[in-house]
């Protein structure tokens, strides 16, 4: 009998402990709680941190994040107004602003992510389809900085921006926020993470860029060849001038030397008869060396001055 009483006491204590534990719950700074009774929400959401109470066994708690949450969209192929196809990649930050409405409409975060996909992707597609490519890739009309003076037609087209990427992003944010507010979600921020051409267009753009760069390179190469030809022409002209002046100077020096030599010869020739005779003899020998060789035949008259030393070497 005593053992049965002890067992009943233990069971009563356990029931009391379980009842107390089932009647209390803790809300942290990161949580917000919705209480449901038989599956239906009861009362207002609990957002204040601390220990709170509920009816045990018949009431359940549903916790939701109070912090900022991340949404990372999948890249989608989207056409612009000027028929350019782009891959657009988005990301956003959101928060559960009304946990009761969120629970009623979506139940959990996975359903919320699915609804964010539908709404944000759809509004992004609509916004991009209303604008040209230049509005998506640029934020302002800031002037391009060129490495040369070459300006292509596409550069001229990309220089006129009416709204820009930031304003288009704000438009998507403004249109999507009211739709998400009806789901208990506050859309905090939205950004275009990446914008790129589709493969076919990207290949064509790269080929056009290569063609333009080749044209610029050919222009520089042609200008360089022209400048090189000019430099070579100036060099040849300057070299000819230097050579001409050098030749003229050399001839002047030779003329002066010949004049001095002639004066010396004349002075020596006029000094006395023996000197004149020796001079005539040496000059004749030099002439013989220049005009005679084993393969030449020389015809001279007997009264020729050149024949005189050949005829009578001792004369």
Reference 124, options 90, 74, 158, 160; nearest CA is 90
d(CA 289, CA 287): 5
* Residues 74/43, Cβ–Cβ less than 8 Å: no
Interval 74-90: pLDDT, tens: 888 888 888 888 888 88
Interval 197-237: pLDDT, tens: 777 767 776 787 788 888 888 888 888 888 999 999 888 88
Q: Token digits for 313?
A: 């070497």
Please compute the mean of the pLDDT values over residues 169-179 and round it to a whole number: 92
Q: How many helices (H) and strands (E) does the chain have?
A: 9, 9
**Is the predicted pLDDT of residue 188 greater than 70, yes or no?**
yes
**Is the predicted pLDDT of residue 44 greater than 90, yes or no?**
no
Enumerate residues 6+ apart whose C-beta is below 8 A from 49.
27, 28, 29, 31
Please compute the mean of the pLDDT values over residues 35-63 and round it to a whole number: 86
Considering the chain, what is the average pLDDT of its residues? 80
**Is the predicted pLDDT of residue 313 greater than 60, yes or no?**
no
Interval 280-298: pLDDT, tens: 777 777 777 777 677 777 6
Residue 99: how many other CB atoms lie within 10 Å: 23
Please compute the mean of the pLDDT values over residues 150-156 and round it to a whole number: 52
Domain chopping of the chain, boundaries:
2-65, 69-197, 276-315
Q: What is the pLDDT of residue 101?
A: 92
**Is the predicted pLDDT of residue 270 greater than 70, yes or no?**
no
State whether CATH 3.10.129.10 applies to domain 69-197.
no
Q: What is the pLDDT of residue 282?
A: 75
Q: What is the pLDDT of residue 173?
A: 92
Vertex 140: Cα angle to 215 and 195 (nearest 5):
70
* Residues 5/12, Cβ–Cβ less than 8 Å: no
Q: What is the pLDDT of residue 75?
A: 85
Q: Provide the phi-psi class of 40: left if phi over 0, else alpha when psi is between -120 and 50, else beta.
A: beta
Q: Provide the phi-psi class of 299: left if phi over 0, else alpha when psi is between -120 and 50, else beta.
A: beta
Reference 115, options 31, 190, 185, 32; nearest CA is 185
Q: What is the pLDDT of residue 156?
A: 52
pTM here is: 0.58
**Is the predicted pLDDT of residue 165 greater than 70, yes or no?**
yes
**Is the predicted pLDDT of residue 103 greater than 60, yes or no?**
yes
**Is the predicted pLDDT of residue 238 greater than 80, yes or no?**
yes
Interval 2-14: pLDDT, tens: 666 666 665 666 6
**Is the predicted pLDDT of residue 192 greater than 60, yes or no?**
yes
Residue 277: how many other CB atoms lie within 10 Å: 12
**Is the predicted pLDDT of residue 155 greater than 60, yes or no?**
no
Which of 18-22, 60-64, 268-272, 290-294 bottoms out in mean pLDDT, i.e. has the lowest?
A: 18-22
């Amino acid at each position: 009998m005593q053992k049965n009483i002890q067992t009943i006491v233990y069971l009563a204590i356990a029931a009391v402990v379980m009842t107390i534990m089932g009647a209390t719950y803790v809300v942290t700074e990161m949580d917000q709680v919705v209480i449901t009774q038989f599956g239906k929400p009861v009362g207002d959401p609990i957002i204040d941190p601390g220990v709170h109470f509920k009816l045990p066994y018949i009431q359940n708690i549903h916790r939701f994040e109070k912090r900022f949450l991340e949404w990372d969209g999948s890249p989608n192929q989207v056409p612009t107004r000027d028929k350019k196809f782009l891959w657009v990649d988005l990301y956003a930050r959101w928060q559960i602003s009304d946990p009761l409405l969120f629970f009623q409409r979506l139940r959990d975060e996975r359903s919320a992510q699915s609804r964010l996909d539908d709404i944000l992707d759809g509004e992004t597609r609509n916004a991009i389809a209303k604008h040209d490519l230049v509005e998506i890739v640029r934020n302002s009309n800031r002037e391009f900085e060129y490495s040369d003076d070459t300006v292509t037609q596409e550069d001229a087209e990309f220089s006129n921006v009416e709204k820009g990427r930031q304003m288009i992003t704000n438009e998507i944010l403004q249109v999507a926020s009211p739709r998400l507010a009806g789901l208990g979600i506050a859309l905090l921020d939205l950004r275009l993470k990446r914008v790129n051409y589709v493969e076919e267009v990207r290949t064509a753009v790269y080929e056009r860029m290569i063609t333009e760069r080749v044209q610029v390179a050919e222009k520089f190469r042609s200008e360089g060849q022209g400048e090189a030809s000019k430099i070579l022409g100036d060099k040849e002209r300057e070299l000819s001038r230097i050579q001409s002046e050098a030749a003229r100077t050399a001839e002047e020096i030779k003329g002066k030397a010949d004049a001095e030599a002639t004066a010396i010869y004349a002075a020596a020739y006029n000094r006395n008869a023996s000197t004149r005779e020796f001079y005539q003899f040496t000059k004749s020998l030099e002439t013989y060396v220049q005009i005679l060789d084993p393969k030449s035949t020389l015809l001279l008259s007997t009264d020729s001055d050149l024949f005189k030393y050949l005829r009578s070497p001792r004369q």
